[in-house]
Amino acid sequence: MRINTLFYCIWQGIRNIFKNKWFTLASVATISACLFLFGLFYSILTNFQHMVRNAEQGLCVSALLDAGMSDERVAEIRGMIVLRTEVSQVEYVSAEETWMQFAEENNFGDISIFTENPLEDCAHFDIYLNDVSMQSTLVSYLESIEGVRKVNQSFLTAQALTGVNAIIGYVSIGIIVILFLVSIFLISNTVSIGISVRKEEIQIMKYIGATDFFTRAPFVIEGMVIGVIGSFIPLIGVYFIYNEAMMYVVKRFPSLSQLLAFLPVETVFTNLVPVCIGLGVGIGFIGSFTTVRKHLSV
């Protein structure tokens, strides 16, 4: 193809965008609406997953050890636990440290009045998991170790978190399918608005002997440019809404700030921007390509 012809097709495509103002507006609005919903949903979803992961990581199992255990035995048990694949981190907390922490958390003030450690038998391991669903397996393993007196599970049950994760998975699949269907429906409607105008033009081109490629190129370029515009608008919208919503929640529910650890907007957007633009261009391409194809058989 001549470079001349390529420029002509691109120029015609861009010209079409301004020529058919209403069509452009309707298409941009449709794509924007769909991608806006997608963007919002994606932001909520990733934050939710992030929070669940946070909660999971904070989840730990405590294995209390028999009083007066030798340092060698402690090291030995530690070695056994570390080897487990579901374990991400193991911390040994001696009886003295446990007592000091406890006193501090409960504002005991000066603890030198205690002549002996009331929590002498509370030396323990804090064990963090990388997969909460394995918690019960780990607990029974720990209970089987000689020298482990008692195992305390976290107050947030592992089952609850695993459940939340599964629900998020199902809901996301459901919402993505619905959004996909809705956007296809809306876009095919929008595209058919513009058909009558184009039908005649395509027919004329075909009568003169234009190839399918030449006929299609301006329309496809138009569709892709509309797709790009239609993805920038919702991205900008989601960006502002995201920041506003984050500030609102933090102000309104300060007590939850620990649980509601929001992802910074930049992190969310590293993935959202390319995905959104890709979807917009893809929708624009497919929409215009298939619409023109219907009219190519002249």
Partner 1 sequence: MKTTGTRRRAGSVISDMAIVMEHVSKSYTQGVPALNDVTLHINKGEFVFIVGDSGSGKSTLIKLLLRELLPTSGRVIVNGTDVIRLRRRQIPKFRRSLGVVFQDFRLLKDRNVYENVAFAQRIIQKPNREIRKNVPSILSTVGLAGKYKARPKQLSGGEQQRVALARALVNKPQILLADEPTGNLDPKNSWDIMNLLEKINNNGTTVLVVTHNREIVNAMQKRVITMKKGIIVSDEEKGGYIDED
- Residue with Cβ nearer partner 1 (131 or 201): 201
| Smaller CB separation from partner 1, 64 or 221 | 221
* Two structure tokens written together for 105: 């958390």
Spatial CA neighbour of 164 closest among 281, 52, 16: 52
CB of 180 or CB of 213, closer to partner 1:
213
Copy the structure tokens of residue 21: 């103002």
* CB 196, min distance to partner 1, A: 13
The least CB distance from residue 212 to partner 1, in Å, is 8
Between the alpha carbon of residue 199 and those of residues 11, 184, 192, 295, the distances in Å are 20, 21, 10, 6
Considering CB under 8 A, how many residues would be counted as binding partner 1?
20
Structure tokens at 100: 């000091």
- Does residue 92 touch partner 1 according to CB under 8 A? no
Q: Which residues contact 112 (CB under 8 A, 6 or more apart)?
A: none
Shortest spacing between CB 267 and partner 1, in angstroms:
46
List phi, psi (to 5°) of 100: -65, -45
Site string for partner 1, 185-204 (x = CB under 8 A): ---------------xx-xx
Burial class (CB in 10 A: 0-12, 13-18, 19+), 217: buried
Contacting residue, 71, 110, 170, 209, with partner 1 by CB under 8 A = 209
One of 100, 212, 245, 246 touching partner 1 (CB under 8 A): 212
Nearest to partner 1 of 8, 232 (CB atom): 8
Residue 205 binding partner 1, by CB under 8 A: yes
Structure tokens, 249: 């929640």
Burial class (CB in 10 A: 0-12, 13-18, 19+), 92: middle
User: Is residue 214 a contact point for partner 1 (CB under 8 A)?
Assistant: yes
Q: Which of residues 14-33 bind partner 1 (CB under 8 A)?
A: 19
The CB-of-23 to partner 1 minimum distance in angstroms stands at 13
Decide: is 2 part of the binding site for partner 1 (CB under 8 A).
yes
Based on the shown chain and the rule CB under 8 A, indicate whether residue 8 belongs to the binding site for partner 1. Answer: yes
- Beta-carbon contacts of residue 81 (< 8 Å; ≥ 6 apart): 63, 87, 90, 125, 127, 142
Contact between 10 and partner 1 by CB under 8 A: the answer reads no
What is the contact surface with partner 1 in residues (CB under 8 A)? 1-2, 4-5, 8, 19, 200-201, 203-212, 214, 298
